[in-house]
Amino acid sequence: MEKRVDEVGDGHVHKLPPLFFKYDNIGCYTVGSDIEDEKPNDNDYHSSPDDTFVRVEQGAGVEDGIGGTKICGGARGVTFGGPSHDPFPIAPSRWILPCTCRYSFNTTPATSTSQEGPFFMGQVVEDKHKLKIELGLYAMRERRCVWGTILAASANVIGQLYAHKLSSGANICPKDIIRDIREKHGVELLYTKVWKATQHARSTVYGKADESYQFLPDYFHMLAEANPGTITTIEMDEQNRFLYAFLSFRQSLQSFQSVIRHVVVIDATHLKSDYGGVMFVAICKDGTYMVYPVAFGFRDGKTDEAWTWFLLHIREVIGTPEHLVVISDRHNSIANRMRNVYPTVPHCICYYHMKQNLKNEAPKHGDVMQLYKLDAYSYRTEVCDKYLIDISNIHRRAFDYLVDVGVERWSLAYYPEKRYGFITTNIAEVINAAAKEARKLPITSLVEFLRDLMQKWFHNRRKAANKGSSILTDFALEHGKKIQEKSQQCVVQPIDYTKYAVKDNEGIVWTVDLELRTCTCRKFDLDMLPYAHAIAVCRHIRVPKERLCSDYFTTQRLQTAYAPSIHPVPHPSS
């Protein structure tokens, strides 16, 4: 026998058609509440094996209905029907409704002459979406009653409504949701509730932070199976709590050893998930000066111990190749650990970070900053010394700071190895910027984001490289075009079969050695690309300038770097 909502008010009661839900896949779900800290209890509702259906009757004039919405006064609430189920509130402003993946609930406003306000009718719609999403839409519609306009949808319901945007790769933030709800439903939401909604949406799509750490070993196992040779490491403490994680794709390691310049930038950036932590990166540049990640690490902080752990793993996967260069910011932990882990490898300091520190030593001295820039980018030691003397004459403390750090650590001129013009850690900032939103995610989702990012990079760059028809990369070709005009102003005089004297437009004579690929200006030596003087020699003896470029800048090496494919991780169920 069907039950119904008791008649209320002046007798204008609109009984809606019963809604049937199969017991298959039924769960308990609380649709919204005015009391955010009340939690639904899965034990509040027990289905009987003998009952085939549960009938839910929704009556107009519900006082404490969906999400605690008070549509109009004097009503009694939602009635649960069926062979053995009575109406069942669990809190003054909360009611339990069953949910199923098979059906969803849709609502349409119904006209009424009742003085209490508008009523809403319901209908069953077959759909794959969960009932709670449609109920959330129902709860979010504007209602006017004796209490005014009320939005009863909880943060969880709102989060469910916008979770699909995260699933499709879009980003959601509280202000966007507030604006969207205002435009669509004419309701103003509190920022705190919407912030909770975004957190719930992230948990729905990406999982919870603690569960993500538990799933990480399984994810790494599947990642290594999909990409054989990929190196993954996880370390735990005595209580089996997460300490470190390390990841290096085989595809990157193979190319680093053979076709990528051995200038490695290391950096760390803070994670913004519930448990915080730090993400470490080791990055190079390809023949087009684009970011080429080598390894990632995850740890609780930028401590000496953390940097030791990361650098040890870097050394394990790449070794100590000839002419290896490491660039970082001037963090004491990095400098200390580099001396222990890589004692023979030159360690450079990022120009930008040095400049920021120098500003503290010489505030309001723009002239010192300009001289430091010229000094850092100079290729010849005599030029570097000249600028240092100028800085000393202006600001002695700034000079002392630069010397104490070590001129060879920030100046191209004094650096013992080839840096190919690398003087900052800005390529690490590319990764940090690309992962800006992903750094808020649980760790497994963050790692999957990085894998997906590298998959796209490798595919797109492989496609572009395979289209290249010239010997050199686009970067090297563009470099040649920029200095072509300047080279035409040079006068070349042979010295012997391999050496040439080149006079520039200022009357200065430089010596180019084609056999050693050097020039006394030192740009040719350090960047491994011909500049004006070397290109002038090529034109004079009618030799293609491509012969003077390092192999790192050839299209063939670029194609080799991105030849491997990075494969996705299969779903655990498969």
- What secondary structure does DSSP assign to 400-430, as a single string? HHHHHH-HHHH-TTT-SS--TT----HHHHH
Q: Is residue 456 part of a domain?
A: yes
Say if residue 274 is in the same domain as residue 337. yes
- 9, pLDDT greater than 60: no
Say if residue 439 is in the same domain as residue 305. yes
Say if residue 239 is in the same domain as residue 281. yes
Domain boundary among 396, 415, 434: 415
Partners of 80 in the β-ladder: 56
Please, what is the average pLDDT of the chain? 75
CB 131 within 8 A of CB 157: no
Query: What is the C-alpha separation between 129 and 90, in angstroms, rounded?
Result: 26
What is the domain extent for residue 528? 474-553
Please report, for the domain that includes residue 453, its CATH number: 3.30.420
Overall number of domains in the chain: 4
- 281, pLDDT greater than 70: yes
SS3 316: helix
Residue 447 confidence (pLDDT): 94
Say if residue 337 is in the same domain as residue 381. no
Residue 43 confidence (pLDDT): 36
Q: Alpha carbon of 101 to those of 23, 441, 472: distances in Å?
A: 11, 27, 57
- 110, pLDDT greater than 60: no
Q: Is residue 336 part of a domain?
A: yes
Q: Is residue 128 part of a domain?
A: yes
For residues 251-280, give the mean pLDDT.
91
What is the percent of the chain with per-residue pLDDT over 90, rounded to a whole number?
45
Residue 172 confidence (pLDDT): 78
Highest mean pLDDT of the ranges 19-23, 425-429, 470-474: 470-474
Residue 162 confidence (pLDDT): 80
For residues 51-58, give the mean pLDDT.
30
Q: Is residue 46 part of a domain?
A: yes
Say if residue 270 is in the same domain as residue 303. yes
Using one digit for the tens of pLDDT, what is the confidence trace for 370-417? Answer: 999 999 999 999 999 999 999 999 999 999 999 999 999 999 999 877
- 247, pLDDT greater than 80: yes
Partners of 282 in the β-ladder: 266, 295
Say if residue 50 is in the same domain as residue 65. yes
Say if residue 214 is in the same domain as residue 304. yes
Query: What is the C-alpha separation between 53 and 284, in angstroms, rounded?
Result: 62
Say if residue 287 is in the same domain as residue 299. yes
Residue 295 confidence (pLDDT): 97
Contacts of 545 (CB under 8 A, 6+ apart): 480, 530, 534, 535, 538, 539
Residue 21 confidence (pLDDT): 26
Q: Is residue 299 part of a domain?
A: yes
Both structure tokens of 111 = 């006209």
Using one digit for the tens of pLDDT, what is the confidence trace for 316-362? Answer: 999 999 889 999 998 888 988 999 999 999 999 999 999 999 999 98
Say if residue 37 is in the same domain as residue 140. yes
How many residues in total does the chain contain?
574
Say if residue 409 is in the same domain as residue 331. no
Say if residue 236 is in the same domain as residue 328. yes
Say if residue 425 is in the same domain as residue 518. no
Using one digit for the tens of pLDDT, what is the confidence trace for 496-541? Answer: 999 999 999 999 999 999 999 999 999 998 999 999 999 999 999 9
For residues 29-58, give the mean pLDDT.
32
Query: What is the C-alpha separation between 383 and 130, in angstroms, rounded?
Result: 70
Lowest mean pLDDT among 340-344, 431-435, 455-459: 431-435
Q: Is residue 433 part of a domain?
A: yes
Residue 22 confidence (pLDDT): 26
CA 320 to chain centre: 29
Q: Is residue 100 part of a domain?
A: yes
Q: What angle do CA 327, 333, 339 make, to 5 degrees?
A: 65
Residue ranges of E strands in 188-274: 231-236, 242-248, 263-270
For residues 530-554, give the mean pLDDT.
92
In which element (H, E) is residue 510 found? strand 509-513
Q: Is residue 181 part of a domain?
A: no
Residue 276 confidence class, pLDDT cut points 50, 70, 90:
confident
Residue 454 confidence (pLDDT): 95
